[in-house]
């Protein structure tokens, strides 16, 4: 067993770390206050080759794997979870095209993503989040294609996206087997995007409602066969959950870094905070969960890159790192005391940002459902 990264992996990790420190960290607080994503960062990340790295090389990407995506994501999200997720989330829309797209679709859409366009993954609806089989957006057959009607909620990057991968029912009576996936142009007639939704954290990352009023989508834009949409979404999650686990990993690393700096500087009762055992043990526990998060995330990504089924490991990594990040952010605030509660210090933002990790890309409860189901099946 070899736990070491290759030279190429270390290089891209270093590049992402330096980029995050130089180009993201200085804008993190203000972007959160302004609730806006600084678009110039995306352009710079594109120029240095840190976005869309998993797109195949023949379509303008770097052709790197899930592990490299995790390595980059961890660094970007350590600097700012809001900016980091916005930079990385194209992966979620690119993956269904990678899984089920035909040659013409890959050529047309990957080229646009590689050139810097944003894309969204639109599955969740007001009445169907965890229960994605219950979506109600319909795709009705019409001459030359489909007509989509319905609405989506909580769609990351929808206000920036020029493309969306949208899941809709082609056969509403068939449950999850009636779902199909479509590539939809943002400027299609009848498609509208709401204002970014107000959020507790990750405020630099826009998340919106999307409305479909008889939106025509050509048949050529359907991904895979009719009824294959649910399976495409689930296969996408196996690839994207290691990346989302890396969001949590980056945030936990930041909690450790901030807490160590504060605990070795601040004094109480004549000693540094770290010299009080209650604080030292908190830091050690943070480190334990950090190391476990890293190993689980890299393992889930590595399995995906080996072409091995990683459903259970992706869910374990996603659930563990999300819970660890939320826990670490809570502990970091305790270590900072009153200053942890202050907006003048970084840890309250980490706390607000961390919470959504336990909710999106399948809640912590849904990950546990998947893990238990897979245990029974094994
Ligand atoms: C900031 C943000 C960004 C997002 N980005 C996207 C995106 O880009 N694209 C997209 O499609 N979606 C996105 N989502 C949606 C996200 O995936 C859903 O919010 C999530 O899946 C939960 O669905 P829900 O909100 O409907 O909660 P519900 O499904 O209503 O769940 C409510 C609670 O009940 C629990 N619960 C529900 N069913 C079960 C069960 N069977 N067993 C045990 N517990 C259960 C849940 O775990 C949760 O605690 C985003 C959400 C947020 C907040």
- Sorted by where each begins, the domain ranges of the chain are 7-114, 118-230, 237-377
Distance 360 CA to ligand 1 centre (A): 6
Which residues share a beta bridge with 156? 207
- Distance from C-alpha of 295 to C-alpha of 137, rounded to nearest angstrom: 39
Q: Which candidate, 131, 114, 103, places its Cα nearest to that of 233?
A: 131
- Distance from C-alpha of 140 to C-alpha of 138, rounded to nearest angstrom: 6
Those residues with Cβ within 8 angstroms of residue 4's Cβ, 6 or more apart along the chain or in another chain: none
**Residue of 96, 234, 363 to mutate, ligand 1, most atoms within 8 A of C-beta:** 363
Percent of the chain predicted with pLDDT > 70: 100
Atom of ligand 1 nearest to the CA of 127: 26
Distance 280 CA to ligand 1 centre (A): 36
**Residue of 360, 361, 362, 370 to mutate, ligand 1, most atoms within 8 A of C-beta:** 360
- Choosing from 147, 344, 361, 374, the catalytic residue is 361
Residue nearest to atom 43 of ligand 1 (CA): 365
- Distance from C-alpha of 51 to C-alpha of 205, rounded to nearest angstrom: 16
What are the CB-based long-range contacts (under 8 Å, 24+) for 34-42? 34/204, 35/196, 35/203, 35/204, 36/204, 36/206, 37/82, 37/83, 37/86, 37/160, 37/204, 37/205, 37/206, 38/83, 38/204, 39/160, 41/83, 41/87, 42/86, 42/87, 42/116, 42/118
Which residues share a beta bridge with 75? none
Q: What pLDDT score was predicted for residue 378?
A: 81
Residues whose beta carbon lies within 6 Å of some atom of ligand 1:
120-124, 129-130, 154-156, 199, 202, 207, 356, 359-363, 365-366, 369
Distance 125 CA to ligand 1 centre (A): 9
Active-site residue, 361 included: yes
332: Cα separation from own chain's centroid: 23
**Residue listed under structure tokens 């479509």:** 182
Architecture of domain 118-230: Beta Barrel (2.40)
Domain 237-377 has CATH 1.10.1270.20: no
pTM above 0.95, yes or no: yes
**Residue of 129, 179, 364 to mutate, ligand 1, most atoms within 8 A of C-beta:** 129
Q: Are 362 and 241 in contact (CB under 8 A)?
A: yes
CATH fold of 7-114 reads Butyryl-Coa Dehydrogenase, subunit A; domain 1 (1.10.540)
Radius of gyration from C-alpha coordinates of the chain: 21
What are the CB-based long-range contacts (under 8 Å, 24+) for 40-48? 41/83, 41/87, 42/86, 42/87, 42/116, 42/118, 43/116, 44/19, 45/19, 45/76, 45/87, 46/116, 48/15, 48/19
**CA-based torsion, 5, 10, 12, 17: positive or negative:** positive
Q: Which candidate, 132, 340, 316, places its Cα nearest to that of 233?
A: 132
Those residues with Cβ within 8 angstroms of residue 226's Cβ, 6 or more apart along the chain or in another chain: 170, 171, 180
Distance 230 CA to ligand 1 centre (A): 16
Those residues with Cβ within 8 angstroms of residue 107's Cβ, 6 or more apart along the chain or in another chain: 59
- Which residues of the chain carry a pLDDT beneath 70? none
Q: What pLDDT score was predicted for residue 75?
A: 98
Q: What pLDDT score was predicted for residue 351?
A: 98
Q: Which candidate, 143, 160, 181, places its Cα nearest to that of 39?
A: 160
């Amino acid at each position: 067993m070899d736990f070491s990264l290759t030279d190429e992996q270390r290089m891209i990790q270093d590049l992402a770390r330096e980029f995050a420190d130089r180009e993201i960290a200085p804008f993190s607080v203000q972007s959160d206050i302004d609730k806006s994503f600084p678009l110039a960062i995306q352009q710079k990340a594109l120029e240095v080759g840190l976005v869309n790295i998993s797109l195949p090389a023949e379509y303008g990407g770097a052709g790197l794997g899930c592990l490299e995506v995790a390595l980059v994501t961890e660094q970007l999200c350590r600097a700012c979870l809001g900016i980091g997720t916005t930079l990385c989330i194209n992966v979620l829309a690119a993956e269904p095209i990678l899984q089920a797209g035909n040659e013409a679709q890959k050529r047309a859409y990957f080229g646009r993503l590689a050139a810097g366009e944003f894309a969204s993954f639109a599955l969740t609806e007001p009445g169907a989040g965890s229960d994605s089989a219950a979506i109600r957006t319909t795709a009705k057959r019409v001459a030359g294609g489909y007509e989509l009607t319905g609405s989506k909620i909580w769609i990351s990057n929808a206000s920036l996206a020029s493309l969306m991968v949208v899941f809709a029912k082609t056969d509403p009576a068939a449950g999850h087997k009636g779902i199909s996936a479509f590539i939809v142009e943002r400027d299609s007639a009848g498609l509208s995007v709401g204002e970014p939704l107000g959020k507790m954290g990750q405020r630099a990352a826009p998340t919106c409602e999307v409305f479909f009023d008889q939106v025509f989508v050509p048949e050529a834009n359907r991904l895979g066969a009719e009824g294959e949409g649910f399976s495409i979404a689930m296969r996408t999650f196996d690839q994207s959950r290691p990346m989302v686990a890396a969001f949590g990993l980056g945030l936990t690393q930041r909690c450790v870094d901030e807490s160590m700096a504060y605990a070795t500087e601040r004094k109480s009762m004549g000693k540094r905070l770290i010299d009080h055992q209650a604080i030292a043990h908190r830091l050690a526990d943070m480190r334990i969960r950090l190391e476990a998060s890293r190993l689980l995330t890299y393992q889930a990504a590595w399995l995906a890159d080996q072409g091995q089924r990683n459903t259970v490991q992706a869910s374990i990594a996603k659930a563990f790192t999300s819970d660890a990040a939320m826990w670490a952010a809570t502990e970091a605030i305790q270590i900072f005391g009153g200053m942890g509660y202050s907006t003048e210090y970084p840890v309250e933002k980490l706390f607000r940002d961390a919470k959504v990790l336990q909710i999106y890309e399948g809640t912590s409860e849904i990950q546990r459902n998947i893990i238990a189901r897979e245990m029974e099946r094994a």
